[in-house]
Amino acid sequence: MLNRVADRLRNTTPVYDELKMTPRENMAEWRGLHLLRQVLLSGGGWEAMEDSLFHRSDVLGDVFLKVGLSMRSRFEMVDSHVFLRVANDEGTLMCPCVSAQHFGVGVPLSDHITSMVLLGQAGWPLEHLPSTMLPAVATPLLREALLNPSSSEGLVRRIGVALTHEPTGQYGRMRSTVIAARKEMAIRLFEEGALPPAAHASTLWHEEALPRLRKTMRSRGCGDDDVLALLLQGWEGRDTKTWESLSILRAVREVLEEQSPSGRAWLKQAHRGTIDALIVSSHKRATADVW
Q: Both 82 and 177 in a single domain?
A: no
Encode the chain (291 residues) as per-residue pLDDT tens digits. Answer: 898 899 999 988 888 888 888 899 899 999 999 999 999 999 889 999 989 999 999 999 999 999 999 999 999 988 888 999 999 999 999 998 887 654 555 689 999 999 999 999 999 999 999 999 999 999 999 999 999 999 999 999 999 999 999 887 766 889 999 999 999 999 999 999 999 999 999 999 999 999 999 999 999 999 999 999 999 988 887 788 888 889 999 999 999 999 999 999 999 898 888 888 888 877 654 344 444
Q: Both 118 and 210 in a single domain?
A: no
Q: Both 179 and 248 in a single domain?
A: yes
Q: Both 66 and 181 in a single domain?
A: no
In a domain, 270, yes or no: yes
Going by the DSSP 8-state scheme, the letter that residue 174 receives in this structure is: -
Q: Both 102 and 176 in a single domain?
A: no
User: Last residue of a domain, which of 78, 105, 133?
Assistant: 133
In a domain, 118, yes or no: yes
Q: Both 190 and 76 in a single domain?
A: no
pLDDT value at position 255? 94
Q: Both 80 and 199 in a single domain?
A: no
pLDDT value at position 178? 95
Question: Residues with Cβ < 8 Å from 200, sequence gap 6 or more?
Answer: 160, 190, 230, 231, 233, 234, 235, 248
Please, where are the H alpha helices in 16-66? 23-42
pLDDT in tens, 161-214: 999 998 877 668 899 999 999 999 999 999 999 999 999 999 999 999 999 999
In a domain, 147, yes or no: no
* Residue numbers of the domain that contains 211: 172-290
In a domain, 144, yes or no: no
Give me the number of domains the chain comprises.
Answer: 2
Q: Both 83 and 192 in a single domain?
A: no
Q: Both 89 and 187 in a single domain?
A: no
C-alpha to C-alpha distance for 12 and 243, rounded to whole angstroms: 42
In a domain, 98, yes or no: yes
Going by the DSSP 8-state scheme, the letter that residue 205 receives in this structure is: T
C-alpha to C-alpha distance for 39 and 33, rounded to whole angstroms: 10
pLDDT value at position 20? 84
For the beta carbon of residue 120, count every other beta carbon within 10 angstroms.
22
pLDDT value at position 171? 65
The string of DSSP codes covering 218-266 is HHTT--HHHHHHHHHHTTTTS---HHHHHHHHHHHHHHHHTS-HHHHHH
Rounded CA Rg of the chain: 23
Q: Both 186 and 243 in a single domain?
A: yes
Could you tell me the CA-to-CA distances from 231 to 168, 236, 259 in Å, in that order?
30, 9, 16
In a domain, 213, yes or no: yes
Q: Both 8 and 128 in a single domain?
A: yes
In a domain, 156, yes or no: no
Q: Both 104 and 180 in a single domain?
A: no
Question: Residues with Cβ < 8 Å from 74, sequence gap 6 or more?
Answer: 21, 29, 80, 109, 110
In a domain, 154, yes or no: no
